[in-house]
A and B are shown apart, each in its own frame.
Chain A
């Protein structure tokens, strides 16, 4: 993640590189997620290589978001939610009760479907999480704020009005601000839950371009309903399906392989169904 390559990585080149990748950065092994008595996710095993984009696709209710929120333990916020199995981030056992959850969430950023900036000024939105994680020097905060806003291409648009309310920005700008807010903590992983689906097509395009740029430095897991988008940006695709009311992982593999030679009837049906 310290490398700064400027050449855009060709999507088609990803599979072989990913296969050669050594230890995965994120992994889930035989994970089950329950909401009260209902099982939302059954026996899912999946690993994500460093500096790649993995897309989780599948119909609604197939547990994609549930898996996503396991990786930053946002599942803790749902009172009746229970997770079993083993989930790791590098060498860190995420489900262990001794894990420092706040530190984990600092290292694993998350972007939500609906842009959710705080009802503060733009500056406060970015400064508040930084201060929480121990950065109190105002010069340092300003510097990091500018770099994060530049990273998401928002600096030129808002540099003269950092004190205005973040909620006065347009939807696309708000979403980029949320991405900047996650980036400012220099996370290693970005979890994205349908980051484009609540945006208009133009903003959606910007955010998608941004994601492709970010893959140089971050490991990205993205939930999307847009198969075309998954095909455009992802190195790996994992298909989830609802079987007997429970979400399951049907197939996962390099993007090209999954789209061109689906190994499972459901995968083929899903891809073709959406095509035709």
Chain B
């Protein structure tokens, strides 16, 4: 048995400090889904007032706060403590009574809350005793924190001040107050910390990485190129197309950072194309570093791991640490910058003295040399002073072990708390009269909860085919969508959006600009390759012309979600021809077409990206009135036979001059949407980091 609790602060003028509880017995997909109601509000705590850093009185107040917090949590955990040793008989939903040991096994919070609750200083790891100066390394062998021991040593430290070296390291980084969990029986406080994708990667390392990349691009004069690519990204399901240039975005939130992780490698690869002589090596290293971090992030999102995938993650992390020095010079702090300025001034002063004694003719050459030397010296200083020792860098090193111990990473993300805030706290706050709001918040949600829980229970009876009357079932069918997001199982490709102005191939040819000759040729080719001899399309042009044709604008493709057996995502591929789509220009999406066998086209493994030009239904009245559903596409061909580039690890595709501009394929061979980033005219990079499925399939 295990519990999982979730705590987050939500800001705004009024603050609340909710603590949630749920059980680990429910699989994460169920537990964390919005309609499951499995995350219960456990407590609503007051926010301790903000205190200044230095003053003595505040220091005392801080101690009082810490003690109060300790008392409150002890009160809340008391019921669990009582049964930690003996266990307790609990009625379970299957009608059995089980012996249970409800123990706290996870605490999901952002880093600041974790350190506060664990009684640590800000840049201490809640899990292990890593010293501050090693945060930026990839060492994974530090001793696990033993909070019970800290407690025993602490009083002595304060009195005597004499301690052995070992203890000194141990007690380093301890803050005021104690770990509120250390007194919990049978709870291992150092195991409560859970890696958090949102704050460690999206809002942590990705954010830092973007600062470095921006500095890097500026240094190499590629900032404009980067912005241009950034603005021109094509759409993809679940991907928010950036509307502004990268530099114009002022606020980055978790959602945007996740988006960024999906496209940054491709965008950067295009922005850094065709490096000049001296740039080849730094560009390659920068791309390698970004690639390693992005890949680590992709893998961390897997919901199911094997030792192989965990080994990959470890490799990516090693790779990232090996290459990160390329960005070291962009980790400049204010203090370092001051030092650099001072050094620069000093050098110049000395130079000025020297230069005065040199003949004017030599001065210019000397100045150039000096400038070069000066820059090098400053860079050395920057490199020497800067470091990667910040806490989020270190937290990554716990990800892999954590998967072996506690399962996949996404289920522990703090994001799951956000939804609970919305329904359980914020809505209640809005409905309250803002006076003694906490009391109203905790009660208002109870009503909703009772209703939804009953509906869920009835729903589950329905699945078991219990004896429910017909109108109950009817009602459930209608309300089901509002309570649980039960996705309907759609496995067929669906064509939508018929255009009124096309009724035969001649109309189509006029609208699409594809010549009739080519359409006939392609239709016949398609028919010969794909259809059984008895049901082929007529090969006579006049006959072909007489077949009724519909032109459609949208194809819905059910795509099996990654690592799922029965969950489908719907990809909507649009092909609006020259028509506008939602007033934003025409859309002719990139799609994957199954073009060959697994062994073909290198990393693409038999699939090729293509531009969707047209979606057609052709009714063959001669052959039982069968409707052929076909798509007209422009196929791209892989460059370098589909091998991954050793620069950025992406595949480049091109539209060859001599290639057929229009091919007809069965819509069954269209596998889903593809995400391509234009590199230059008629050349694209395949962005395989756009989602986990593509990431897994293109390698």
- Does chain A bind chain B? no
